Amino acid sequence: MSELHKFLFDGLPVRGMVVRLTDAWVEILRRRASAHPTAAYPLPVQNLLGEMVAAATLMQSNIKFNGSLILQIFGDGPVKLAVVEVQPDLGLRATATVSGDVAAEASLSTMVNVNNEGKCAITLDPKTRFPGQQPYQGVVPLFGDQREKLESLSDVLQHYMLQSEQLDTTLVLAADDKVAAGLLIQRLPMEGVGNLAGSAVSQANEDEIGLNEHYNRIAILASTLKREELLTLDVETILRRLFWEEKLLRFEPLTGDAAPRFECTCSRERVSRMIAGLGLEEAQSILAERGGIEVGCEFCGVQYQFDPIDVAQIFTVAGALPPSSDIVQ
Ligand SMILES: [Zn+2]
In the reported structure, the alpha carbon of residue 2 is separated from the centroid of ligand 1 by a whole-number distance in angstroms of: 20
In the reported structure, the alpha carbon of residue 94 is separated from the centroid of ligand 1 by a whole-number distance in angstroms of: 10
- Amino acid present at 43: L
In the reported structure, the alpha carbon of residue 248 is separated from the centroid of ligand 1 by a whole-number distance in angstroms of: 39
In the reported structure, the alpha carbon of residue 131 is separated from the centroid of ligand 1 by a whole-number distance in angstroms of: 27
The DSSP output letter for 176 is: -
Angle, alpha carbons 301-183-261 (nearest 5°): 30
In the reported structure, the alpha carbon of residue 245 is separated from the centroid of ligand 1 by a whole-number distance in angstroms of: 45
Write the pLDDT tens digit of every residue in 223-267: 999 999 999 999 999 999 999 999 999 999 999 999 999 999 999
Write the pLDDT tens digit of every residue in 29-80: 999 988 776 678 999 999 999 999 999 999 999 988 899 999 999 999 999 9
Give the pLDDT confidence score for residue 128 in this predicted structure: 85
The two beta strands, 248-250 and 91-98, are: unpaired
Distance (Å, whole) CA 271 – CA 284: 16
In the reported structure, the alpha carbon of residue 111 is separated from the centroid of ligand 1 by a whole-number distance in angstroms of: 25
Q: Is 157 left (phi over 0), alpha (psi -120 to 50) or beta?
A: alpha
Burial tier of 130 (Cβ tally within 10 Å: 0-12, 13-18, 19+):
exposed
In the reported structure, the alpha carbon of residue 316 is separated from the centroid of ligand 1 by a whole-number distance in angstroms of: 25
Nearest to 234 by CA among 261, 253, 262: 253
In the reported structure, the alpha carbon of residue 81 is separated from the centroid of ligand 1 by a whole-number distance in angstroms of: 17
Question: Mean pLDDT throughout 89-106?
Answer: 94
In the reported structure, the alpha carbon of residue 65 is separated from the centroid of ligand 1 by a whole-number distance in angstroms of: 23
Give the pLDDT confidence score for residue 219 in this predicted structure: 96
Name the band, by pLDDT with cuts 50, 70 and 90, for residue 193. very low
Give the pLDDT confidence score for residue 208 in this predicted structure: 73
Q: What is the dihedral of CA 238, 61, 205, 51, to 10 degrees?
A: 60
Across the chain, mean pLDDT equals 90
In the reported structure, the alpha carbon of residue 303 is separated from the centroid of ligand 1 by a whole-number distance in angstroms of: 9
In the reported structure, the alpha carbon of residue 296 is separated from the centroid of ligand 1 by a whole-number distance in angstroms of: 8
Provide the CATH number for the domain formed by 268-320 in this structure: 3.90.1280.10
User: pTM, whole model, 2 decimals?
Assistant: 0.88
- Measure Cα distances from 4 to 46, 149, 183, 208, 296 in Å: 21, 31, 10, 28, 31
In the reported structure, the alpha carbon of residue 86 is separated from the centroid of ligand 1 by a whole-number distance in angstroms of: 13
In the reported structure, the alpha carbon of residue 297 is separated from the centroid of ligand 1 by a whole-number distance in angstroms of: 5
In the reported structure, the alpha carbon of residue 235 is separated from the centroid of ligand 1 by a whole-number distance in angstroms of: 31
In the reported structure, the alpha carbon of residue 237 is separated from the centroid of ligand 1 by a whole-number distance in angstroms of: 36
User: What are the residue boundaries of the structural domains of the chain, listed by start?
Assistant: 3-262, 268-320
CATH topology of domain 3-262: Hsp33 domain (3.55.30)
In the reported structure, the alpha carbon of residue 110 is separated from the centroid of ligand 1 by a whole-number distance in angstroms of: 29
Distance (Å, whole) CA 83 – CA 254: 23
Write the pLDDT tens digit of every residue in 140-165: 999 998 999 999 999 999 999 888 87
In the reported structure, the alpha carbon of residue 276 is separated from the centroid of ligand 1 by a whole-number distance in angstroms of: 18
